[in-house]
């Protein structure tokens, strides 16, 4: 099972919104919250073209991304906002012999902060961040790399995502797409291709769900 990070492992919508403000204000850009939400799941260069305009230079884009991510880590460092039920879900998956990975568009520094501050690193068999793939979501690259690192065929993987772009990427990878409606409405996730949608990751913990996705029949 492959997890997106923001909106799935941690509920960071507010932290992302606040951390984009400083680089935006410095450049006289007024951010729209709905537009920001549409960027969820994408890598920073794609987000910056959407939020700041398509003509922005590569150097300026890198500067904006660095300022934003430093601000983001400062906001969450003292209190990592783990999603309700995520720890219990990860423990349940481990108890069933299910391999787990992170497939996130986030930079490696953000993932390291969440895993270490949240004491989650031992829960994952593989980690792939946004800097490691040529194409970000909705391309399937990050999920395919996560499956490869786990040693699991893509068709035997499920993906838990909160953003439509991530759901599209999971489907493109040939994986079962599972939505959690933490940042987007359930119908948006269903429309993007999610086969199941839950309110929170912890809601997945049930024998009925695990049987439905075939976890009990998969080899370790």
In contact, 183 and 37? CB cutoff 8 Å: yes
Number of Cβ within 10 Å of residue 45's Cβ equals 16
Beta-carbon contacts of residue 186 (< 8 Å; ≥ 6 apart) = 179, 197
Q: Looking at 19-28, 171-180, 207-216, which range is the least confident one?
A: 207-216
Beta-carbon contacts of residue 205 (< 8 Å; ≥ 6 apart) = 85, 88, 89, 92
User: At 158, which helix (H) or strand (E)?
Assistant: strand 158-161
Number of Cβ within 10 Å of residue 141's Cβ equals 19
Q: Is the pLDDT of residue 220 over 50?
A: no
pLDDT in tens, 117-126: 999 999 999 9
Give the pLDDT score at 214: 73
DSSP letter, residue 10: B
State the pTM of this model: 0.84
Name the residue with tokens 């492992």: 9
Q: Is the pLDDT of residue 49 over 60?
A: yes
Give the pLDDT score at 219: 41
Confidence bin at 198 (pLDDT 50/70/90): very high
What average pLDDT does the segment 164-184 reach? 96
pLDDT in tens, 51-63: 998 989 999 999 9
Q: Is the pLDDT of residue 216 over 70?
A: no
Burial label for 4, CB within 10 Å (0-12, 13-18, 19+), is: buried
Distance CA 174, CA 184 (A): 22
More confident residue, 40 or 103: 103
């Amino acid at each position: 099972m492959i997890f997106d990070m923001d909106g799935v492992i941690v509920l960071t919508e507010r932290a992302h919104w606040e951390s984009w403000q400083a680089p935006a204000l410095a450049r006289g850009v007024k951010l729209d919250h709905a537009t920001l939400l549409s960027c969820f799941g994408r890598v920073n260069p794609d987000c910056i073209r959407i939020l700041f305009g398509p003509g922005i230079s590569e150097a300026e884009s890198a500067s904006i991304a660095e300022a934003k991510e430093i601000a983001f880590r400062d906001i969450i460092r003292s209190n990592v906002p783990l999603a309700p039920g995520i720890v219990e879900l990860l423990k349940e998956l481990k108890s069933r012999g299910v391999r787990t990975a992170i497939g996130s568009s986030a930079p490696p520094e953000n993932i390291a902060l969440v895993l270490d501050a949240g004491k989650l690193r031992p829960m994952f068999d593989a980690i792939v961040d946004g800097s490691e793939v040529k194409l970000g979501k909705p391309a399937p690259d990050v999920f395919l790399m996560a499956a490869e690192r786990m040693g699991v065929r893509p068709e035997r993987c499920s993906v838990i995502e909160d953003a439509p772009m991530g759901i599209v990427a999971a489907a493109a990878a040939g994986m079962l797409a599972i939505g959690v409606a933490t940042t987007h409405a359930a119908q948006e996730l269903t429309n993007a291709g999610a086969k199941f949608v839950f309110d929170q990751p912890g809601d997945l913990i049930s024998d009925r769900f695990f049987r439905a996705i075939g976890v009990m029949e998969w080899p370790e």
